[in-house]
Structure 1
Amino acid sequence: MTTAADVLILGGGGAGCSAALHLARRGVRVILLERGLVGSQASGVNHGGVRQQGRHPAELPLAIRGRRMWDDMAALVGTNAEFEATGHLKLARNATEEEDLLRWNAMAAEYGIVPRMIGRNAIRADHPYFSDSVIAGSLLEEDGSANPRLLTPAFAKAARAAGATLLERHPVTGMTRAGDGFVVEAGGKTFTAPILLNTAGFWGGEVAAQFGEVVPVTPLSPNMMVTEPLPLFCAHNLGVVGGDVYLRQISRGNVILGGGRGESDPAIPASRPLPAPTFSAMERAIEILPHLAGAMVIRSWTGIDGGLPDALPVMGPSHTTPGLFHAFGFSGHGFMLGPVVGAVLSELVLDGRTDVALEGFDIGRFARQDAPEADIWKTRLE
C-alpha cells in the first residue's frame, strides 16, 4: 500500500516538527517519518540555551528571527517550553577572551544586537560568586533558556492538530526519486510526495549522500549533567568564550551543565556520556563558580547530533535533486533554531523564497576547493 502526501519530512526533531506544523497550517498534506520518538535525539537532550550571543555571523540573522518566535511560542504551540529571558552571560577568563567578546559585540552591533559589556570590577560587584578567573563578561539580556524536553513534543502535537501525519518508530529503509517525486520506504510502508525535507540530524548526511551530495558530517554527542538542587545564586544562562563549559540554574535549584563529548553509535542508535569529559566539565565549572565544589551530580546524559567542520548547518535546496530541501548538521547549537528553521523550510517549499540569508549554509560549500574549515568565530565563540 502506498500513501501519498504533498511533502515528506525525514526526522522528527525541532526543525522537522516545526516544518510539519507550518506546512499543515497552510493546507499542505504532510507526512513526517521518525525512526524513534520525536525529540529523542539532539532536539531533546541539549542544554536548552536560547541565545543569539556568540553565533557565527552567517547564523546570526536566523537566530535573530528565531529569537522573536520564542516570544510567541505559547500562542504557536500551546506552551513556551519554560522559556525565560534570563539573559545569556558569556564570560572571559583572560585578556584574549575579553578581546573576543569585544570583537563579537562590534560585529553584532551591525545586526542591531547590543550586549552589555561588564568589566572586572562590575562583574565582581554584580556576581560575587565568580572566582578570580573571570575577568569580564558580555550580557545579552533578551537571550535565555528553555526546557528541550517540552518543545519538540509540543510542535508535534500542534502539527497533528493542524492535520499533519507524524509517524514515530518508522525508520527509513529506502528512498529514491522517481518521476516527479520521491518514494520512501519506512516501517514496512511506502510513501510518495513531490517534495522531500531532510531534517534528519546526523543521519541527514546519509540522506544527502543518497542523492549524490556528500557532506562531512560526524556524530556529535554533547556531555550533559545536572546537580542536586542548590540555593539559588545565578539567574543567567552562563557560557564561556571557547564553549568548553556552559551552565544554568533552574528555578528548582538544580544546575544543568555541559562540556566535552560523550560517545555514540549512530547505527543502533545509542549514545552515552563518558566519565572523563564529565569530570573535566565539572572541574571547569568549579573554576568559575567555586561554591559548586561538592555539589552532587544526580544524572548525566547525551544524544546524537550532526557536526560539520565549520560548525554551521546545511540548510536550503539540494544542488542535485529538484524538490529536495536540507536542514541538518546544527553542530550542537540548533535547539533554539528549530522553530524558525521549520518556518523557513515551509517558505522555501511554498513561496520559493525566505527573508533569511542562507548562503552560508549552502550544501555546495563542501564540494568546492575552498571547503570551509574552523574559523575564529567557531573556535573561540562557539
Structure 2
Amino acid sequence: MSRRLNVDVAIIGGGLVGSSAALALRGMGMSVALLDRRFCGAQASGVNYGGVRRQGRPPEQLPLAQRAHAIWPRLKALIGIDGEYMRSGHLKLAASEADMASLETYAARVADYGLDLELIGHNELRRRFAFLGSGIVGASFCPGDGHANPRLVASGFAAAARRAGVHVMENSAVTGITRNGQGFVLEADEAADITARIVINSAGAWGDSFAATFGEPVPLTRIYPSMVVTEPLAPVLTVNIGMEGGGIYARQVERGNCIVGGERTQPFADPDFSRPNSESTLLMMNRAATLFPGLRHAHVIRSWSGTEGMMTDRNPVIGPSRTTPGLIHAFGFSGAGFQIAPGVGEVLAELVRDGRTTTPIEAFSITRFATDAEPTIDRTIHGSGAEQIVEPQQRGV
C-alpha cells in the first residue's frame, strides 16, 4: 500500500545538515519529511574525522561557523546527548617558515571574526605542547575549537528530529520529483508519495544530480577521505591538530583512542562506495608517528572511508534555487561540513520560514555557477526519464 504524506517541507538527505534542518523546522511548528536513500548519518556526516573547527576556514564561511559555534555546547539540551563534544582547542602546525607566514597572514585576515587566534613560535610551542616531535616551526592556536564523535552526532540529530515529530524515512531513495503549482510531489522507495510546499536538497555527494534535475548543473566531484583509529592509549594529544597546507590531522578522545586522517582512497566500481587500503593507512601512521612520537608503537584497530562532495571552489552550495521557487540547496561541503552543519540547519529553517536568513550566505549561492546560456526554467523529472518544461516562475523561496 502506498504511503502518502502531505508536509510543509521535504528534505532529501538525512545527513547532519538535513537532520539539523528538520529539527529546527519542527521547532518552528512545521511538518517535515526527512528522506535518506540508506540510513540517516551513515554517509559523510557519520564517517568524517570529527573536527569541530573554525580555524582555517575562508572568511566567507566564518559567520556561519560562528553561528554553529554557539550551538555545539548546547548539544545535550538540543539532541539529548553531548556527542563526545570537547572544546579542546585546535592547533594548526607549520612545518616551514613559508607555512608559518601563511598562518600569520590568515590570522590578520580573520582578526575581526572572533576566533581569538594565538600565533605560537617554536620555543613556546615545545614548552606548551611537549608531545610534538621535531621539525615544527610554529603554530596557530584557536582555543575555542574542538572535536566530537560524528557517528553519535549525525545519528543523534536524526533521532532527535524523529522524537520531535519529523517523518524520518530511511531506505527511501527519491526516484522522482514533480514541481506543480503549489509545490512538489516526490516519489520514493517503499511506495511513498510525498507532497511538500518546499524541498531542501541536502543530498551530499548526490546533491548535484538533484540540482541538475532543475537545470542547475554544478562542478561537484567526489572525494574519499581515509581515516584510522588506534587502540586506547595513555594521553598523547591534548588538542585537535591539523597541518597548514594539509598532510595530517589527529585528535585523541577521552577513552584514549587516537583518530588520524590525511589521505584519500579510491572508490569501488560503484562510486557510492570506497574502502581504505593498507598503503594509505601505513603512510598516515608513519607521518603521525614522526609528528607525535607517542604514536610510534600504537596499533591501528580500524580504518574507514566515506563519500563526500567536493566543489571546485571548496565552498558549499547553500540557498534558494536559481530556477525553481520552493527549492533550497545545501550540499557540497567539501570535507569541511561537520562543524558548520548545525548552523546550516538553522539557516535553512529561516529560509523556509522567512525567505531570508540573518547569516550571510551570498557567497554560497548556486548562481555562482550559472552561465548566460543556461535557461531559467522549472523542470519536472520522473524516474522513468520523462521531462516536462514549464514556464519560468518568479525566483525565490
TM-score range, shorter chain: over 0.9
Matching of residue 205 in structure 1 with residue 194 in structure 2: no
Distance 1:266 1:170 in 2: 23
Picking from 234, 237, 241, the partner of 2:237 is 234
- 1:299 equivalent to 2:302? Answer yes
Aligned with residue 353 of structure 1, among 353, 356, 374 = 356
From 176, 179, 182, the equivalent of 1:180 is 182
Contact map agreement 2:115 2:144 (CA 8 A) in 1:
no
Q: Is the 8 A contact 2:89 2:144 kept in 1?
A: yes
1:362 aligns with 2:365: yes
The letter of the residue matching 1:295 is A
* C-alpha distance in 2 between matches for 1:21 and 1:233: 37
- The amino acid across from 2:182 in the alignment is D
Deviation track 1:240-266 (CA, whole Å, cap 9, x = no partner) reads 001221000112211101011122359
How far 1:267 sits from its partner (Å)?
A: 5.1
Partner of 1:247: 250
Question: Any conservation in 1 of the 2:46–2:155 contact (CA below 8 Å)?
Answer: no
SS of the residue 1:110 aligns to = helix
Please show how residues 127-206 of structure 1 align to structure 2 within 5 Å: 127-187=129-189, 188-206=191-209
Match of 1:374 in 2: none
SS at match of 2:263: strand
Contact 2:236 2:294 in 1 (8 A): no
State how far apart, in whole Å, the 1-side matches of 2:43 and 2:322 are: 27
In the alignment, which residue of structure 2 is the partner of 1:81? Answer: 83
Q: What is the alpha-carbon distance in structure 2 between the residues aligned to residue 310 and residue 275 of structure 1? A: 30
C-alpha contact 1:50 1:145 (8 A) present in aligned 2: yes
Cα deviation, residue 309, structure 1: 0.9
Deviates more, 1:207-216 or 1:187-196: 187-196
Contact 2:319 2:328 survives alignment (8 Å): yes
Moved more, 346-355 or 124-133: 124-133
Residues of 2 paired with 1:368 and 1:286: CA distance?
48
Give the whole-Å Cα distance in 2 for the aligned partners of 1:274 and 1:367.
38
Paired with 2:236 and 2:250, the residues of 1 have a C-alpha distance of 12
Instruction: Return the alpha-carbon distance in structure 2 between the equivalents of residues 96 and 57 of structure 1.
Output: 21
CA distance in 2, matches of 1:97, 1:118: 13
Query: Which among 219, 223, 226 is matched to residue 220 of structure 1?
Result: 223
| Identity over aligned pairs, percent | 48
Alignment partner for residue 275 of structure 1, among 273, 278, 290? 278
Aligned counterparts of 1:275 and 1:306: Cα–Cα separation in 2: 24
Q: 1:220 offset after TM fit, Å?
A: 1.4
TM-score, L = length of structure 1: 0.93
Structure 2 match to 1:15: 17
CA deviation digits over 1:36-89, x for unaligned, max 9? 111000100011111111111111111011111112121111112111110000
Counterpart residue number, 2:394:
none
**Partner amino acid for 2:18?**
G
Partner of 1:69: 71
CA contact (8 A) 1:92 1:136 kept: yes
Q: Does the aligned pair in 1 maintain the 2:233–2:257 contact within 8 Å?
A: yes
1:1-43: CA deviation from partner (whole Å, max 9, x where unpaired): 4321111000000010011111112111100110111100010
152-161 or 344-353, larger mean C-alpha shift: 152-161
8 A contact 2:41–2:158 mirrored in 1: no
Closer, same or farther in 2 for the Cα pair 1:286/1:158, shift >3 Å?
A: same
Question: Aligned residue for 1:49?
Answer: 51
Contact kept, 8 Å, 1:47 with 1:148, in 2: the verdict is: yes
CA contact (8 A) 2:54 2:339 kept: no
CA shift for structure 1 position 274: 2.5
Distance 1:134 1:199 in 2: 39
Deviation, 1:300, is 0.3
Aligned to 1:379: none
Q: Distance in 2 between matches of 1:125 and 1:263?
A: 40
Q: Which consecutive unaligned segments of at least 5 residues does structure 2 have?
A: 373-397
The answer to whether the Cα contact below 8 Å between 1:219 and 1:264 also exists between their aligned partners in 2 is: no
Specify every segment of 5 or more residues in structure 1 that has no aligned partner in the other structure, as ranges: 370-382
Q: Which amino acid aligns with 1:215?
A: V
Check the 8 A contact 1:13/1:152 in 2, yes or no: yes
User: Which among 324, 328, 352 is matched to residue 325 of structure 1?
Assistant: 328
Displacement of 1:128 after TM fit? 2.2
Alignment check: 8 A CA contact 1:129 1:289 kept: yes
The alignment of Structure 1 onto Structure 2 pairs a total of residues equal to 369
Q: Between 20-29 and 124-133, report the one with greater CA deviation.
A: 124-133
Q: Deviations over 1:311-348 (max 9, x none)?
A: 11000000000000000000111011111111100000
CA offset digits 1:269-320 (Å, max 9, x no partner) = 3221133322222222122113322321111001111111111100000000
Name the aligned partner's letter for residue 293 of structure 1: R
Code of the residue aligned with 1:73 in structure 2: it is L
The answer to whether the Cα contact below 8 Å between 2:43 and 2:307 also exists between their aligned partners in 1 is: yes
Structure of larger gyration radius: 2
- In structure 1, how many angstroms separate the alpha carbons of the residues matched to 2:237 and 2:270? 40
